[in-house]
Amino acid sequence: MIAVTTKLAWYVARSSGIVAWATVTASILWGLTLSSRLVRKRGVPAWLLDLHRYLGTLSLVFVLIHLGGLVGDNFVYFGWQQILIPGKSAWKTSAVAWGVVAFYFLAAIQITSWLMRHMKRKIWHAIHLSSIALWISATVHTFLAGQDRHNTLLQWFVLGSTILVLQLTLFRLITLRSAQKWALRPETPAKPDRVRTG
């Protein structure tokens, strides 16, 4: 029982980190699905749109639990500087830095999502597009810093998720280009009415 309690913070940090990565991935996959032509926006129930926001908020909650677990663990020292400033951690400096960057991306995306109605849509959309950068940095952090990176189940899960993210991103770019081409296509001029003479 003593061994479990002394390592509890470490287990919390590890498990919440994996769950945070999974919820970030689910949120991005769902966002890409909703923003593409796979789902018609007019026919989408409100709860499907809310699910995307809920997953994003859940990601932030698990990241905060992850950070709290790291600070509470005594095996490797993590103070607030180590978890908030890239390059400050003496333990796996670059791996932790990727995680810090991912946290800032997530915080920016979530805060602007909550304030979306009070922002210009272009600014919100530009920040929201950094979700892919968030996912990349979080994935790199998971594999460089995570103690569970050698777990076969996690490796297959990450590989499958990566394929899905890439496919949906590519599909989103293709549908975006086709939509822009259609929007920029000049309308066919209307045929002039014949004027009767005589």
Mind listing the pLDDT tens digit for each residue in 97-107?
999 999 999 99
C-alpha torsion sign, points 67, 72, 74, 80: positive
The pTM score is 0.79
Mind listing the pLDDT tens digit for each residue in 50-67?
888 899 999 999 999 999
Confidence of residue 186 (pLDDT cuts 50, 70, 90): very low
Residue boundaries of the structural domains of the chain = 2-184
| Residue 137, helix vs strand vs coil | helix
Q: What is the pLDDT at residue 2?
A: 44
CA distances in angstroms from 3 to 8, 10, 69, listed in the order given? 8, 11, 16
Give the separation between CA 149 and CA 154, rounded to whole angstroms: 7
**Token pair for residue 101?**
């960057």
